[in-house]
Amino acid sequence: MNSNRFVVISGCSSGGKSTLLAELGRRGHATVEEPGRRIVKQELAVEGSALPWLDKAAFARRAIALAIADRGAAAERPAGWVFFDRGLVDAAAALQHLTGEPTLEPLGQAYRYHRRVFLAPPWLEIYVTDPERRHGLDEAIAEYRRLLVVYPSLGYEVTVLPKAGVAARADFVLRTLVGNAR
């Protein structure tokens, strides 16, 4: 499977990732919605407990399974970039942080993405909570800092997104990918 076309957009919660993915989708690129948001919607609909505010480990395990399935489904898409709103590395890093289970290295190496990963930095001016994102900015920043270490530890090159409008961010991502193609 050619994972060089699978691009992860990760980083701080409420840093504009989903908005950026929507813009990239509007421009004709394939996108994959964040596993965590989908899990929260499903669990809330059935009054389940695999929610990050009830059972973080169960939530992370579900996110890992969904991210693996997302990669498999993305391989069936026609050629071209596929942008992921978070992904397997985020979920495996969360589970390892919570439980100490050594999930990150084996999963992170077995399921690769494009070598360049884009991280949305903390951006106080746009940070909001909602029914699916209940954690505070401090927790979001702590996760962002972990991801700044985790991705390079697995051999990824991290590019921090500029704090700019969505069109400028999308241009930046596409320009960076084309300018650094190998």
| Domain spans of the chain, in order of start | 3-179
Fold of 3-179: Rossmann fold (3.40.50)
Residues with Cβ within 8 Å of residue 144, at least 6 apart in sequence = 11, 12, 15, 119, 121, 122
Short-list 56, 108, 44, 114, CA closest to 81: 114
pLDDT digits 0-9 by tens, 24-58: 999 999 999 989 888 988 888 898 888 888 888 99
**Is pLDDT of 1 > 80?**
no
Mean pLDDT, range 108-137, rounded to an integer: 76
